[in-house]
A = this chain, B = another copy of it.
Amino acid sequence: MKPLRKLDYPVDQARRFLEPGPIVLVSTAAHGQRNLMTLGWHMVMGFSPSLLATYIWNENHSFALARDSRQCVINVPGVELLDTVVDIGNCSGREVDKFARFGLDAVPAHDVAAPLVGQCHSSFECRLHDDSQVQADNLFIWEIVRAHVAPRPKLPRTFHYRGDGRFMVSGQEISRRRRFKPDML
């Protein structure tokens, strides 16, 4: 699959792609290695700065790469990458370079050493904003410092994990803008 052309996107709007809760690929680089992990445990925590929390288990190979580099890229794949993303989650970066194994393009980022995943619909460059809960709780609070989003499709068909090997694929979009108070939008 060819890499998607992505454009700069406002970092305070990253929620449009992350807040619905899709499975993401986290890319990291440190100690002369790079890695990719499949992650479902993340949460928006603010817009300005644009904050995202992730839970990365300390047994995962990516944990030390994220902790030591204090950087990562959060990539949102579309459903056409489902099998690849499942397979990425079922092998370890200790044994394999996942970009090479799965034929994914490691596209240089702008502000961090970790690469973007070319085939993903959007990619968010992150720096560690708060490391106080990393060791105790495996909780990283990141600031999104640069956002890259493919203009087509406008909304990717994301997939969301239910456990037990089952995924929900994103469906239709519904607007309720008219019901919102302006300051709640």
Residue numbers of A with Cβ under 8 A of B are: 13, 15-17, 19-22, 40-45, 53, 55, 79, 82-83, 86-87, 89-90, 130, 133, 137, 139, 141, 155, 157-181, 184-185
Contacts and interface: CB of A to CB of B under 8 A. Distances in A.
**How many copies of this chain sit in the oligomeric assembly?**
2
Given A22-B21, A55-B43, A179-B87, A166 B174 contact: yes
A160 B55 CA distance: 20
A25 to B, nearest CB: 15
A173 to B, nearest CB: 6
A172 to B, nearest CB: 5
A162 B16 contact: yes
A179 B90 contact: yes
Nearest to A183: B90
Nearest to A136: B132
A19 B161 contact: yes
A140 to B, nearest CB: 12
A38 to B, nearest CB: 10
A176 B162 CA distance: 11
Given A21-B160, A79-B174, A167-B173, 12 more contacts: A15-B161, A20-B160, A20-B161, A20-B162, A40-B44, A86-B180, A90-B181, A160-B170, A164-B185, A166-B174, A166-B176, A171-B172
A162 B173 contact: yes
Contact of A15 (B16, B55, B137, B163): B163
